[in-house]
A and B are shown apart, each in its own frame.
Chain A
Amino acid sequence: MTTPLLKLSGLGIRFGGLVALDAVDLTVAPSTITCIIGPNGAGKSTLFNLITGIYRPTSGTVALQGDPITGLPAHRIAARGIARTFQSSRLFEDLSILDNVIIGMHGRTRTDVLTALLRPAKSRRELEACAAEAETILRGISDELFARRYQPAGILPQADRRRLEIARALASHPKLILLDEPSSGMDDRDTAALMADIRRVMADNPGLSFLIIEHDMRLVAELPDNVVVIDYGKKIAEGDFATVRQLPRVQQAYLGQKAVEHA
C-alpha cells in the first residue's frame, strides 16, 4: 500500500480542562477529496488548527507522506506543503489581490535580505516570475479577480474573498489544501462554480488532495470521496456520503433529533 498523504493518529487537544478534540484518527490518500462535517462547535476548525500548527496537539501525531510534522511551527508545516483557508477569510486586506497570491509563494521562493539589497536584479526577476504565475492562477480562478488584481483585497465581496483565498493556497504548490467552509456566503451558482474549480484544480495537479469542512449538503453529497463526521470532538463516522448519512448516530448528531424521527 502507498504511504497516505496525511495521517492523523490519536490527535487531540485540551484547553485547560476542556477536551476540544479527542483521539481523532484520519487518513487522506493522494488525489482525493475528504469532507469533514459535524455540528457547530464540534471541533472541525480545531482539527484544522492542529494539522496546520496553529495549535500544538496535547496528544497524538500528524504525519505528512510518512514524515512526522506534529508540533512543528505553522510556517514550517506550510512550507512542507499544507495550505489552508480560514472560516472567516483572512486576506491581507490592504495589499493588492495580486500581492495576496504572490505571498502564497513565500515558502518556495528564496530571496533574503542580502540578496534583495545586493543583487536586486535577481530579486526582481524572482518576484516578476511570481507575479506572472500569480496572474495565471488568478485568470484560472476568475477573470474578474484577474481584472481587479491591482485593487486591495479588502474591497472584495464574500464569494470573491473565498476564491482569492483558494488562489493564494494554490500558489504555494501544496500537496494538501484545507478549506474551512469554502461555500459559506456563496449562492447556488457560486457553489457550483466552486465545485467545478476544485475538480479542475485536482485535474491540473495530480496528487493534490483536499480536506474540506463543509455545511452545504449538496457539496458534501457530490464532491468528496470520503466523508468524516465529527461530534463533541470525536470522530463518530467515516465513509461515503450515502452510507454515512444513513447511520442513526450521524443523523442524531448532525441532522438533529427531528430528522431521525422523519427517517
Chain B
Amino acid sequence: MSTTLTNIHSRTTLPASLIVAATEIGGAILLGAFLLAESTPLVVALLAVMGALFAAMQYRPQIEEVIVAAFHDARGLATALAVAIVLIYPFFLGGNTYALHLLIVSLLYSVLALALNFQLGSANIPNFATGATYGIGAYTSALLAIHLGWSFWATLPAAAIVATVFGFLLGIPSMRTRDSYLALVTIAFGIVIHQMLNNLSWTGGPNGLVGIPAPSLLGHSFMRPIELFGFRLPSQANFYYLSAALLGLAILSAKRLHESRVGLAWNAIRADELAAKCQGINVVWYKILAFGVDAFLAAFAGTIYAFYISYISPDNFTFLVSVTIMTMVIVGGMDNTLGVILGAFLLTMLPEKLRVFSDYRLLFVSVVVILFLILRPKGLFPQRQRHYGGQR
C-alpha cells in the first residue's frame, strides 16, 4: 500500500529514501570537512556553505518540510544509515586524533544540551546549574574510581544517582520560586558547588583529581587503539563510540519523553503554568522531575568526560559552562532535538576551529550568538508540532 504513496510522491518530487540519504551523507561530509579543515579560508568557506543552507531554509521553509517528510516516510532507512555513518565515521577521519577529540567533546556537549532541553526547551524552566550537575557526576565517578577502585561501568550508575539526588534537591526551591528568582537559585547552586569543589581537600581543591584510570570493556582497555579488519583507530575512538552511544541513548530518551504524556505536561507548563494546573498537572512534581532528568543525563556525560580526559578540575564546571550549554539549546532551537544537537556541535567546534583568530575567537562566537538570537530567534530548527496515528 505504501508503494502507491511512494509512486505518487516520486512522480512529483524526489523519492524519500534519496532525500534521506543525500541529507545524511551530505551532513556527514560537511561535518567531516569542517573537522579536518586546517586552513582558515576553508573553515570560513564551509561556514559560508552552512550559512547559505540556513538562509535557503529561512526563505524557503518548504525545503525543511520536504526533508522532514522524507525522514518520516523513510524512518527505517534514516535510522539504519545514521547508525552506519556513526560506526564508520572514525575510519573516514583517517586517524586524525584532534578531529576525534573535537567530535567526542561535541557529542558530550550534545548530551548536556539535550539534558538541559528537558527543562529549558520542554518546560521553560531556567537552569544555570547543568554545569554543576555535570561536575557532580564527574567528581563522583572519579572519586569512586580513584579511592575505591570501582570500574567505569560501576561508577556510571552511581554518579547518575548522586547527581539526580542533587538535581531533585535543586528542584525543590522551584516549588515556590519562578523565572528570574528561580534562575538565581540555580546560579547560586552552581556557584556553591563550584566553590566547594575548589576549596574542599578531598576533591583536590583547585588542582582537581588526576589519574582517573581508563575504562576497559571485555578485556580491551580504552587506552589502547582499536584494531579491526586491518584498520587501526587511535585510542580516542573508544571514547568516540562510547559518547556516540550515550548520545544515542539521550536522543532515544528525548524522543520517548517528548512523545508521551510527560512531554505534553512539560509543554503545557511552558505555555501556561496556571492553565496546566487546572488540567490536573502536578506542576511542582513535573518541575522537580525535569531537574532530576537533567541531572541524570548530565552525570553520564560527566562520567565519560572524567574517564576520557583522566583529569578533572573545578574549572571544567563553572557558571560559564552552564551558560554555554544554555546557549546551545537556545541557538539550536528549544525543544527540537536535532536543533539542540546542532547548536552543541556548532558552539563546541566554532571556537576550536577559529583558533587562527586566537585571542578574538570568544569575542567572535559571542557576537555570532547575539546576532543569531536577533536574526533567528526561534533557533536553527524551531520546535515542531506533534503528529499522531502515523500522520505527519
Chain A positions near chain B (C-beta within 8 angstroms): 52-54, 73-76, 78-79, 83-84, 86, 90-96, 98-99, 102-104, 106-113, 115-117, 120, 123-124, 126-128, 130-132, 150-152, 168, 172
CB distance from B354 to the nearest CB of A (A): 35
With both beta carbons as reference points, the residue of chain A lying nearest to B388 in the complex is identified as: A131
With both beta carbons as reference points, the residue of chain A lying nearest to B249 in the complex is identified as: A117
- Establish whether residues A102 and B262, one from each chain, have CB atoms under 8 Å apart when the complex forms: no
Task: Check: B271 CB closer than 8 A to any chain A CB.
Answer: yes
Residues A96 and B385 in contact in the complex (CB < 8 Å), given A106-B264, A112-B262, A127-B260: yes
- Establish whether residues B281 and A106, one from each chain, have CB atoms under 8 Å apart when the complex forms: yes
- Establish whether residues B280 and A79, one from each chain, have CB atoms under 8 Å apart when the complex forms: yes
A157 and B16 alpha carbons, distance in the complex (Å) = 36
Select one of A75, A86, A110, A126 contacting B281, CB under 8 A: A75
Please count how many residues in chain B sit with their CB below 8 Å of the partner chain's CB atoms.
33
Q: Interface majority SS on B: helix, strand, loop or mixed?
A: helix
With both beta carbons as reference points, the residue of chain B lying nearest to A92 in the complex is identified as: B271
Select one of A103, A116, A132, A168 contacting B256, CB under 8 A: A116
Select one of B259, B267, B283, B387 contacting A92, CB under 8 A: B267
Residue-wise interface mask of B (61-104) relative to A, using a CB-CB cutoff of 8 A (1 in contact, 0 not): 00000000000000000000000000000000000000000000
CB distance from A153 to the nearest CB of B (A): 9
Q: Which B residues are CB-close (under 8 A) to A104?
A: 279
Within 8 A of A (CB), among B263-283: 263-265, 267-268, 270-272, 274-283
CB distance from A85 to the nearest CB of B (A): 9
- Establish whether residues A127 and B261, one from each chain, have CB atoms under 8 Å apart when the complex forms: yes
13 contacts between A and B (CB under 8 A): A52-B278, A75-B280, A103-B265, A106-B279, A111-B261, A113-B289, A116-B256, A116-B262, A117-B253, A123-B261, A124-B260, A127-B388, A150-B385
CB distance from A49 to the nearest CB of B (A): 10
CB distance from B155 to the nearest CB of A (A): 21
Select one of B261, B271, B389 contacting A106, CB under 8 A: B261
CB distance from B291 to the nearest CB of A (A): 12
- Establish whether residues A95 and B385, one from each chain, have CB atoms under 8 Å apart when the complex forms: yes
- Establish whether residues A84 and B386, one from each chain, have CB atoms under 8 Å apart when the complex forms: no
Task: Check: B165 CB closer than 8 A to any chain A CB.
Answer: no
- Establish whether residues B383 and A102, one from each chain, have CB atoms under 8 Å apart when the complex forms: no
- Establish whether residues A113 and B388, one from each chain, have CB atoms under 8 Å apart when the complex forms: no
Within 8 A of A (CB), among B366-392: 383, 385-389
A104 and B272 alpha carbons, distance in the complex (Å) = 13
Select one of B270, B279, B293, B389 contacting A78, CB under 8 A: B279
A151 and B384 alpha carbons, distance in the complex (Å) = 10
- Establish whether residues A117 and B257, one from each chain, have CB atoms under 8 Å apart when the complex forms: yes
Q: Which B residues are CB-close (under 8 A) to A124?
A: 259-260
- Establish whether residues B259 and A127, one from each chain, have CB atoms under 8 Å apart when the complex forms: yes
- Establish whether residues A172 and B257, one from each chain, have CB atoms under 8 Å apart when the complex forms: no
CB distance from A239 to the nearest CB of B (A): 30
Residues A117 and B256 in contact in the complex (CB < 8 Å), given A103-B264, A103-B268: yes
- Establish whether residues B267 and A99, one from each chain, have CB atoms under 8 Å apart when the complex forms: yes
A167 and B268 alpha carbons, distance in the complex (Å) = 16
Question: How many inter-chain contacts with C-beta < 8 Å in the A-B complex?
Answer: 126
CB distance from A259 to the nearest CB of B (A): 35
- Establish whether residues B385 and A92, one from each chain, have CB atoms under 8 Å apart when the complex forms: no
Residue-wise interface mask of B (293-330) relative to A, using a CB-CB cutoff of 8 A (1 in contact, 0 not): 10000000000000000000000000000000000000
Lowest 7 CB-CB distances: which A-B pairs, in order?
Answer: A107-B280, A131-B388, A116-B260, A92-B271, A78-B280, A90-B275, A74-B277
Select one of A78, A116, A126 contacting B277, CB under 8 A: A78
Residues A95 and B293 in contact in the complex (CB < 8 Å), given A102-B264, A168-B279: no
Select one of B260, B274, B280, B387 contacting A111, CB under 8 A: B260
Q: Which A residues are CB-close (under 8 A) to B270?
A: 94
Q: Which A residues are CB-close (under 8 A) to B271?
A: 91-95
A128 and B260 alpha carbons, distance in the complex (Å) = 10
With both beta carbons as reference points, the residue of chain B lying nearest to A109 in the complex is identified as: B261
Residues A103 and B260 in contact in the complex (CB < 8 Å), given A131-B388, A150-B385: no
User: B271, B276, B278 — which one has the most chain A CB atoms within 10 A of its CB?
Assistant: B278
A78 and B389 alpha carbons, distance in the complex (Å) = 28
CB distance from A55 to the nearest CB of B (A): 11
Q: Which A residues are CB-close (under 8 A) to B386?
A: 96, 98-99
Q: Which A residues are CB-close (under 8 A) to B280?
A: 75-76, 78-79, 106-108, 172
Q: Which B residues are CB-close (under 8 A) to A150?
A: 385, 387
Q: Which B residues are CB-close (under 8 A) to A95?
A: 264, 267-268, 271, 385
**Additional A-B contacts beyond A75-B282, A132-B388 (10; CB < 8 A):** A74-B274, A75-B279, A86-B275, A93-B272, A103-B264, A103-B276, A107-B279, A107-B280, A111-B260, A127-B259
With both beta carbons as reference points, the residue of chain A lying nearest to B392 in the complex is identified as: A150
- Establish whether residues A172 and B385, one from each chain, have CB atoms under 8 Å apart when the complex forms: no
Q: Which B residues are CB-close (under 8 A) to A116?
A: 256-257, 260-263
- Establish whether residues A123 and B260, one from each chain, have CB atoms under 8 Å apart when the complex forms: yes
With both beta carbons as reference points, the residue of chain B lying nearest to A154 in the complex is identified as: B271
- Establish whether residues A78 and B257, one from each chain, have CB atoms under 8 Å apart when the complex forms: no
CB distance from A107 to the nearest CB of B (A): 3
User: A54, A84, A123 — which one has the most chain B CB atoms within 10 A of its CB?
Assistant: A123
With both beta carbons as reference points, the residue of chain A lying nearest to B284 in the complex is identified as: A73
- Establish whether residues B278 and A78, one from each chain, have CB atoms under 8 Å apart when the complex forms: yes
- Establish whether residues B275 and A75, one from each chain, have CB atoms under 8 Å apart when the complex forms: no
Q: Which B residues are CB-close (under 8 A) to A108?
A: 280
With both beta carbons as reference points, the residue of chain A lying nearest to B387 in the complex is identified as: A150
Q: Which B residues are CB-close (under 8 A) to A84?
A: 278
A128 and B259 alpha carbons, distance in the complex (Å) = 10
CB distance from A105 to the nearest CB of B (A): 8
